[in-house]
Copies of this chain bind each other. A is one copy, B any other.
Amino acid sequence: MSPFTRIPAEAAAALGEKRLIVEIKRWLGKTSPPAPFGIGDDCAVVPSSGRAMLITTDPVIYGLHFDDSVPARAVGAKLLKRNLSDIAAMGGRPVAAVVSLALAANTSVAWLHEFYLGLAATARKYKVSIVGGDITQSPTGFLGAFLTLHGEAAGKRIISRSGAMPGDRIYVTGTLGGSLLGGHYRFTPRLVEGTWLAQRQEVCAMMDVSDGLAKDLHSLTPAGLTPAMRESAVPISAAARRCAMQTKQTPLFHALGDGEDYELLIVVCYRADCTKFEQAWQRRFPRLRLTQLGTFVRRDQLPEGAIQLANFSGYEHLKLD
């Protein structure tokens, strides 16, 4: 049986990423535990005899996550930082990583050298050990590096994506949009912020923004609820404004739809004292913006003038050619 089809309707791209994942979970049956212990959160939490272990995996692929314009060191750094961002999003501390390489036959040693220097520098900075991996030669000119990162809870708890309630506030770190202008590899994973947030009782759910706010917010939104946000609340990046001038789209379009922000999206409990929370943040992280985007409301209670998220889309991983 061939893994390929000429009939578009039979292709994974026609199903779409979201439905494909639903299918995969179904196909896996009982071997796929519920999130956060399995598919569906930023990291999988694996109970251990010691602290909870966190595992996450993300690749960098030539022509997709980087191209000739990105320095090789930045590619190696990005590979690890993408995964660190997932550990940060659960309030974890990274421990060790394995890297699996699929190399085109003509991959240059000099490029690989630079790639590994970038990976090593980032690993040192965040105290991650690179403990193993695998190398294969790809038969199609494909070049990709697949990293799996292992971490553990930094404090007493980890923060999953679920748990938002009506009235809970939605916060985001930094500014959003325009990562194509360089942010997609120059970002800083929010590890220090993530562990700090995991220790705050006000925080009840968290994730990182990797596919764009408009798409990722769905993962934080419980059934029956919807995020109520005003346009004026969205922290639009300078890069999003520059992108908008080139694309003739609005800056908001880029802030909500562009992927690879790698900022933290935080849900703060409706009972919490927001002012106290914001002041504590500002004392601890005076140089990193924290913005209240809005609140979760019941679907039938979306106020007039709120952003219609359905009008914005995030990054779709599978597309028909």
**Chain A contacts to B: CB under 8 angstroms:** 1-8, 10-15, 17, 20-21, 23-24, 27-33, 37-39, 41, 43-44, 46, 48-51, 53, 55-59, 61-64, 68, 71-72, 75, 95-96, 98-100, 102-117, 119-120, 123-124, 128-144, 146, 148, 150, 317-321
Copies in the complex: 2
Q: Which residues of B contact A48 (CB under 8 A)?
A: 48-50, 53
Partner of A96, one of B46, B130, B134, B135: B46
Q: A120-B29, A148-B98 are in contact. Are A17 and B105 (CB under 8 A)?
A: no
A158 to B103, CA, bound (A): 32
Determine if A59 and B136 form an interchain contact, defined as CB atoms under 8 angstroms apart: yes
Determine if B144 and A141 form an interchain contact, defined as CB atoms under 8 angstroms apart: no
A218 to B53, CA, bound (A): 34
Known pairs A11-B106, A24-B112, A144-B144. 11 more at Cβ < 8 A? A1-B68, A10-B109, A15-B109, A37-B131, A44-B96, A46-B95, A49-B49, A59-B136, A102-B102, A102-B144, A106-B321
Closest to A111 in B: B3
Q: A11-B107, A15-B109, A108-B11 are in contact. Are A43 and B134 (CB under 8 A)?
A: no
Closest to A132 in B: B44
Determine if B4 and A108 form an interchain contact, defined as CB atoms under 8 angstroms apart: yes
Partner of A12, one of B41, B109, B142, B144: B109
Determine if A105 and B320 form an interchain contact, defined as CB atoms under 8 angstroms apart: yes
Partner of A138, one of B23, B39, B99, B142: B142
Partner of A38, one of B37, B75, B131: B131
